[in-house]
Structure 1
Amino acid sequence: MISIVIPCRNEAQNIPLLFEEIGAAMTGRSFEVIVVDDASSDATAEVLAEEAARRGYPIRHLRHERTAGQSLALRSGAWAARGAMVATLDGDGQNDPRYLPELIDALRQAGPEYGMVQGQRVGRRDGLAKRMASRFANGLRRALLGDDTRDTGCGLKAVHTDILRRLPFFDGTHRFIPALVIQEGFKILHRDVVDRPRRHGRSNYGILDRGLQGAVDLAGVRWLRRRRRRMPKVEEIRYR
C-alpha cells in the first residue's frame, strides 16, 4: 500500500478536486490518503469529513493543535503512514496527482540502493520574483550540499517510509530531503513534472520568509552533514 501524505493549512477549497484527481490517478492501486491539517482555521475539517464519506479509498485526517509548519506536518504523516512507501504532494493543487504513479513506479523499479524519487517542476507558474529567489536558493543549496537536485521545493516526492522516518526533522526539512536521503547512504532519482497555478487561496509563506529561513537551515544542514558520517551498509554474519 502507498501512503499519500498531504500537509495542508487552510486549503478547504482545493481539497475536493485534489481528491478527485488522486482517485483517478491511483485507480487500481492500494493506497490511503493522509491529510495533515496544520491547525487550519477554515472549513478543512468539515470538507475532509464529507470527502471521507464519499470517496472509495481511505482518507485519514491528522490535525495539529497549533501551526507547526510543512516539515513537521510531513513528519506527522510519515509516522502515521501504514504503507511501505510515502508519496507526498502539496494541498494547494499546484502539484498534479497524475505524476504520482510515475514517481511510485520509478522508485519500486529502481532497486534497494535508491531511497527516493524527487519531482522537479518545469513551467513554473509563480511570479518572476519568486522564481528568481527559488533559482538562487536551489543553486546555492546544490553547490554546498551536492544533492544534484535543481528543485527541492517541489512537493511531489516518493520515499520509502522507513528511510523517511530516519531523517532529522526540523522547521525546513522538506527543502532538504534529497540531501538527507543521500546522507543515509541512498541514491535518488528525479522526474520532471509540470507545475500548475494555485486554484484558490494564497500561499502561507512569503519570499522573504523562505529566503531568510532557508539560509539558516542550509547552514544547519551543511553542519549536520559535515559532523555526521554516512551510514555504512550493515550486514549480519550468521554462524548458525
Structure 2
Amino acid sequence: MDYEFTIIVPLYNEEENLIRVEQELKKYQEKALKKTCILLVNDGSTDNSLAMVEEIAQRNDSFKYISFTENRGLSAAIKAGFDYADTPLIGYIDSDLQTDPEDFNLLMEHIGDYDLVTGVRTDRKDSFTKNMSSWVANVIRRSFTHDGMDDTGCPLKVIKADYAKRIPMFKGLHRFLPAMIMLQNGKVKQVPVRHYPRIAGKAKYHLWNRLAGPFIDCFAYLWMKKNYINYKVGKKG
C-alpha cells in the first residue's frame, strides 16, 4: 500500500505496554490525516517484547518491525527507524504512550510549511524530580544550540523524511532533532500536545542521565555544527 506517514515506536522491555500501543495506534490510523503505517523498533529487549512485537506485526499488515541484536539506546532506535522508513513523512512516539497518538494530527496541520513539527508537553504528569531535571536539561541544551525549542524531549514529532535521513548518527541524537534540522536550513515549529502519566512499565531515564547526558552531548553537537556539510544542488545534467 502507498503509505504517506510512518510512525516509529522505539521500545525496550515494554511488554506491559505493547497491547495498548497496538490498540491506540490502530485507533489513530482510522483518524489519521495521512495514510499511516507503524514501525516498531525493538532495542534489544530482554523481556517478552520481541515475541509480542512479532505477533502484532503478524496480525496487522500496517505494522512492521525491526529488532536489534542488543540494546543500543534510544538514539540508535530512532535513527534505525529513519533509515528503514520509506514514506515522505516520519513520526516518532514513545511506547509508554505518555503522549496521545491522536495529537499527530495537530502536528500534521503544520508540516506542509515546516520540515519538523515537535510537540510541547502541556501540564506534564511526571514527578517533580523528572520535570525539574527535564527543565534544567532543556536550559543547558538551548544555551548551546539556540534552537528556541522548549521541550525537545517530547516524544511526539513529525519530520519530512528527506531531512530525517540526512541527520548523522551520534549518541544523544534524540535530544537534538530540531537543532539538526536547523543545521540543514530546515524550518521547525513546536505545538502544544497532551501529556499523561505512565501507567505501565518502567522509565528508562533517571536524574543522572537526564542531566549529565544532555550536557556531554552538547559538546558533540557543537563539534558537529562546526564540521557539518550542507549543500544544495542547483543544476545537474
TM superposition score normalised by structure 1: 0.90
Say whether the 8 Å CA contact 1:34–1:62 is kept in structure 2: yes
In 2, Cα distance between the equivalents of 1:199 and 1:144?
Answer: 34
Q: Which residue of 1 aligns with 2:90?
A: 86
Give the 3 Å change call, closer, same or farther, for CA 212–83 of structure 1 in structure 2: same
Q: Secondary structure, in 3 states, of the residue corresponding to 1:36?
A: strand
In the alignment of these two chains, the number of paired residues is 232
The yes-or-no answer on 1:234 pairing with 2:227 is no
Q: Which residue of 1 aligns with 2:146?
A: 146
1:8-63 Cα offsets, whole Å, 9 max, x none, are 101111121122222222216422111110011111122223323444x4111211
**Paired residue for 1:10, among 10, 13, 21?**
13
In 2, Cα distance between the equivalents of 1:169 and 1:61?
Answer: 20
Say whether the 8 Å CA contact 1:25–1:101 is kept in structure 2: no
Q: Secondary structure, in 3 states, of the residue corresponding to 2:214?
A: helix
CA apart distance, 1:67: 0.5
Q: Which residue of 2 aligns with 1:66?
A: 70
Structure 1 runs (4+) greater than 6 angstroms displaced:
none
In 1, Cα distance between the equivalents of 2:183 and 2:43?
Answer: 28
CA apart distance, 1:98: 0.9
Give the CA RMSD over aligned residues.
Answer: 1.7
Say whether the 8 Å CA contact 2:82–2:90 is kept in structure 1: yes
In 2, Cα distance between the equivalents of 1:84 and 1:150?
Answer: 26
Q: Which residue of 1 aligns with 2:44?
A: 39
CA apart distance, 1:173: 0.2
In 2, Cα distance between the equivalents of 1:136 and 1:205?
Answer: 15
For 1:198-213, what aligned pairs fall within 5 Å after superposition? 198-213=198-213
CA apart distance, 1:233: 4.0
Q: Which runs of 5+ in 1 are unaligned?
A: none
1:67-111 Cα offsets, whole Å, 9 max, x none, are 00000001111111121111100011112101112212321x31x
Q: Which piece of structure 1 moves more, 27-36 or 73-82? A: 27-36
The yes-or-no answer on 1:98 pairing with 2:102 is yes
Q: Aligned AA for 1:103?
A: L
Q: Which piece of structure 1 moves more, 144-153 or 16-25? A: 16-25
CA apart distance, 1:129: 1.3
In 2, Cα distance between the equivalents of 1:115 and 1:224?
Answer: 20
CA apart distance, 1:140: 2.0
Q: Secondary structure, in 3 states, of the residue corresponding to 1:5?
A: strand
For 1:205-224, what aligned pairs fall within 5 Å after superposition? 205-224=205-224
Q: Secondary structure, in 3 states, of the residue corresponding to 1:150?
A: coil
Percentage of matched positions with identical amino acids: 28
